[in-house]
Structure 1
Amino acid sequence: MLEELRRLTESIAEMEVRRTRIISRLRREHAASWDEIGRACGMTRQGATRRWSRTLHAGSFGSAVGAYHRGRPPYPRSAVEWAVPRTARRVLDLGAGTGKLTELLVEAGLDVVAVEPSAEMRDQLAAVAPRAAIFEGTAEHIPLPGADVDAIVVAQAWHWVDPAQAVPEAARVLRPGGTLSLLWNVRDHTEEWVALLDGILHQHTRQEIDTNPVIGTPFAAPERTEIRWRHTLTRQALLDMVASRSYVIVLSEPERRDLLAAVEDLLGTHPALRGRDEITMPYVTRCTRAHLPH
């Protein structure tokens, strides 16, 4: 009976993967609403969105990888210095994306391993950080042996993971005394035009991200800091940043077109932006780190 149960569990898992792929395609092609998907799955619209929308948003970046790399900001070097202990030699960039952080880690002279689930992003990553060892994987299933790295840095990605699986997996691959650091670049809304921009971006959905997450055992209590800085980018790069947001990628084409038009209108009319090809975006990088016991 145990063998029968094991086979049944494997079959259910395979069918769930197939169901998620079908739902992903339906939403990507705008072929079904969440109401329709919910009814087909025997649940409410709210139940369907709770179960799958986060997964679909997390997997949406591959279709906009070029815009993602052009538009997303780097990270201040002071954040990297805070996140990675001076004694660290081998560092894992987990959820590395297109390599915005990976480049800085390599430039710091570290032995860098980068793990990223998206094949399209790994291709971009390999181009910008050829000296990093790059693997397919997730925070829940890291393709490294135990006690393999001195530090793990997760930049702009921890909000996509399941902490119940990711925390023990991070602890597994870290050496005793190792450090897990989480970074987020957040636009500084205290500047008026940035607040207006965010109002446009969140017309359809507001992505709430916990940038001060609980990590929990076996890690010690987390330390936190904020670093304020400014990033200069072109008007086109700002539009690429907008287009690469997960909640923008999954909009219908008319909604996406209207949103981008509203951003262009802001760029063309606001006194702080009008007539400028280069724009300075204020950011706050929110940092959390926690250490394993020795």
Structure 2
Amino acid sequence: MNSKERFSNRVADYIKYRPHYPEAIIDFLQAQYELSAGKLIADIGAGTGISSELFLEAGYPVIGVEPNKEMREASEELLQQYKTFRAVDGSAEHTGLDSGSVHAIVCGQAFHWFDIAKAKEEFKRILKKNGLVILIWNERRVASDFEKEYDLLIEKHARDYIKVGHRNIDLENIQAFFAPNSCQLETFANSQIFDFNGLEGRLVSSSYMPPRNDAGYVPMITDLKQLFDRYQSNNSITIQYDTKVYVGRL
């Protein structure tokens, strides 16, 4: 499936159940990189606007660049209260933005979809001098018994988890993207608390899992319910993340 259309049939779950990003990211960028409020941000692969909202809430104007029509329209609806947000139809390789127009580029949970070489050239074109590139991922922890079994459940039922879930994310690829410059990695704690319906929604919000109308959906949810029942406390389960933020210049 074309990555630009991959999420079209699961936008509602994506909106409701995908994790957001810690506000501490903004404090870090302001303190370490002098990325002051008011500077223009391009959110590339903006999706429904989760990463855009982090910056909008902190006083940054944001252009959300998103090729998927349903995702883009969702971001316009969800972020309509922010007058400094606009969404445009574009991709990492062809943003449609003016040359030298943005102070920073943010990619939240999106960099692994890009053609890295073409995206790098496009990013260099649209960034102002000394502009920042900020790559953000929420990475699920796989340490506790629940986390390990949940990951095994995903591997069992996913269609292309290894290919989609990890492509382009390893440190070597990221360092190669910023080369010959370097990048800084900062990690933040993040979490979500779910009842069973929430955990179900979180699972199927991932593009590599069987959607609700798929023949593989019922067996997957049967396994998920058994897992939830084994580990739930007060009818809830916590998913822990390391939010990894890579920052550098091109």
Give the TM-score of the pair, scaled to structure 1: 0.74
8 A contact 1:186–1:286 mirrored in 2 = yes
Deviates more, 1:246-255 or 1:155-164: 246-255
CA drift of 1:152 comes to 0.5
CA distance in 2, matches of 1:236, 1:250: 15
Distance 2:35 2:246 in 1: 18
| 1:5 aligned residue | none
CA contact (8 A) 1:243 1:260 kept: no
Runs of 4+ in 1 over 3 A off after TM superposition: 80-88, 215-219, 249-252
Question: Structure 2: 5+ residue runs without aligned partners?
Answer: none
What residue ranges of structure 1 are gaps of 5+ in the alignment?
1-23, 25-54
**What is the total number of aligned residue pairs between the two structures?**
235
Q: Residues 112 and 166 of structure 2 are in contact (CA less than 8 Å); yes or no, is this contact kept in structure 1?
A: no
What are the equivalent positions in structure 2 for 1:187-226 lying under 5 Å apart?
A: 187-203=140-156, 204=158, 205=160, 206=162, 207-209=165-167, 210-212=169-171, 213-216=174-177, 220-226=181-187
Q: 1:127 to 1:233 in 2, by over 3 A?
A: farther
Q: Relative to structure 1, is the Cα distance of residues 67 and 252 closer, same or farther in structure 2, using a 3 angstrom cutoff?
A: closer
Compute the displacement of 1:256 (Å). Answer: 2.4
Q: What is the match of residue 61 of structure 1? A: 7
Q: Which amino acid aligns with 1:98?
A: T
Q: RMSD across aligned C-alpha pairs, in angstroms? A: 2.1
Letter in 2 for 1:90: L
Q: 1:242 aligns with which of 196, 203, 214?
A: 203
State how far apart, in whole Å, the 1-side matches of 2:88 and 2:207 are. 23
Q: Which has the larger radius of gyration?
A: 1
Q: Choose between structure 1 and 2: higher helix proportion.
A: 1
Shift of 1:226: 1.5
Per-residue Cα deviation, 1:147-193 (whole angstroms, up to 9, x for no partner): 10100110000000010100110111100010001010011111220
Counterpart in the other structure of 1:262: 223
Between the aligned residues of both structures, percent identity stands at 26
Q: How does 1:1-294 map to 2 (within 5 A)?
A: 24=1, 55-56=2-3, 59-83=5-29, 85-88=33-36, 89-130=39-80, 131=82, 132-203=85-156, 204=158, 205=160, 206=162, 207-209=165-167, 210-212=169-171, 213-216=174-177, 220-249=181-210, 253-270=214-231, 273=232, 275-276=234-235, 278-292=236-250
Amino acid at match of 2:196: R
Paired with 2:178 and 2:35, the residues of 1 have a C-alpha distance of 23
